[in-house]
Structure 1
């Protein structure tokens, strides 16, 4: 199928030419968390067909957003990874997450869920709670673990990843319900700790700020 274009000399339309197809931004969301195999991507994108996923990955490769690297010198199954241009989509994904956060008030019975899907929102929470903080926060839910790096962190800046952090500066453990409330901006990590819905491990500045954040004003 030929690649479609809006054929408009406009930065917005050019961006949509690159990432406006259905599923493309969700593929980017998954790959922001780190390189993934095709089977892992398919598992964490419930609802996408194998043909559509393969097509989107090919489009993203052609557009310079994704590269495919062999897992072994002999080839075989590949590992998909964002390029620098693909990683530049992080602010777009974060803005979309903030825009969509109010819609998380009610979870529909048909909604799939993966813990790391809350990472873009928790990244913003950590940055607002600990302005200028440097370090990594590991977030543990009953349904999964992910980690976030605020913008002040050296060696790569803001980002998130699926799974545990290698050396977290703070570990935030909480229920899925409490994490969603924090992600939506209707509660703070400190309030969740005070109510016994969360705990924070760590003794550095970022951990102390999460335990005892300044007075919180819901958004």
Structure 2
């Protein structure tokens, strides 16, 4: 394992960048905010990263106390990576970075990869309250854990059990919400988001 590079500056921002400033590190955190992930799953959802770089970043993150690696019990018997409490504290950092980067989204470029769950953090920032929200897009389905204080804040695929609300929308609407051009409640009122479910969160979204 190579020694960690440092800016050698006595500044908390510089020290933070010593740990998370390398290319791909924060995007790995984004993926692990969904909970434990196997190496192969991480590689599939980080298009463009080489296997060597991903392996190196994961080792660095484990050394720096951002992630841990554990072996699943049989019959899985695979290793998974997950965030530590310190790693999970990067959620508001990613939220703030995503909000700052909203104007950079613009129109999707032909070379841009997309995964449905990449919309999870912007939507999580845009929805108030508490509960599990299932989101259905053309690209796929994911779910959010709104107001979660521990554990995963989102997950790929349908929500386990009955979610508190289901949101159906097209990709243009989800993109507009992610860019900050459209609020979730405004999209519901304009019938651009269809809300179903009997939970408190669903009722709040429909009645707002």
1:17 aligns with 2:11: no
1:160 alignment partner, one of 150, 154, 168: 154
User: Could you tell me which residue of structure 2 aligns to residue 216 of structure 1?
Assistant: none
Alignment of 1:61-80 (within 5 A): 61-72=62-73, 77-80=78-81
Q: Gaps (5+ residues) in structure 2?
A: none
Following superposition, the deviation at residue 50 of structure 1 comes to 0.3
Which residue does 2:84 correspond to in 1? 83
2:29 matched residue in structure 1: 28
Secondary structure of residue in 1 paired with 2:10:
coil
Of the candidates 146, 152, 172, which is equivalent to residue 150 of structure 1?
146
Deviation at 1:96, TM superposition (A): 0.8
Q: Deviations over 1:166-187 (max 9, x none)?
A: 2310000111111111222222
Shift, 1:64, TM fit: 0.8
The within-5 A match list for 1:1-219 is 1-72=2-73, 77-127=78-128, 133-151=129-147, 153=148, 156=150, 159-166=153-160, 167-213=162-208
Q: Deviations over 1:40-94 (max 9, x none)?
A: 0000000000000000000000001111111236996310111111111101111
Q: CA 1:49 to 1:206, structure 2 compared with 1: closer, same or farther past 3 Å?
A: same
Deviates more, 1:136-145 or 1:58-67: 136-145
1:191/1:75 CA distance change after superposition, 3 Å: closer
Q: Is the partner of 1:161 in helix, strand or coil?
A: strand
Equivalent residue pairs, number: 206
Give me the TM-score of the superposition, normalised by structure 1: 0.86
Q: CA deviation at 1:157?
A: 8.1
What do residues 4-45 of structure 1 show as CA deviations (whole Å, max 9, x unaligned)? 011112111111111110000000000001110000000000
SS at match of 2:118: helix
Structure 1 unpaired stretches of 5+: 128-132, 214-219
Distance 1:202 1:6, change over 3 A: same
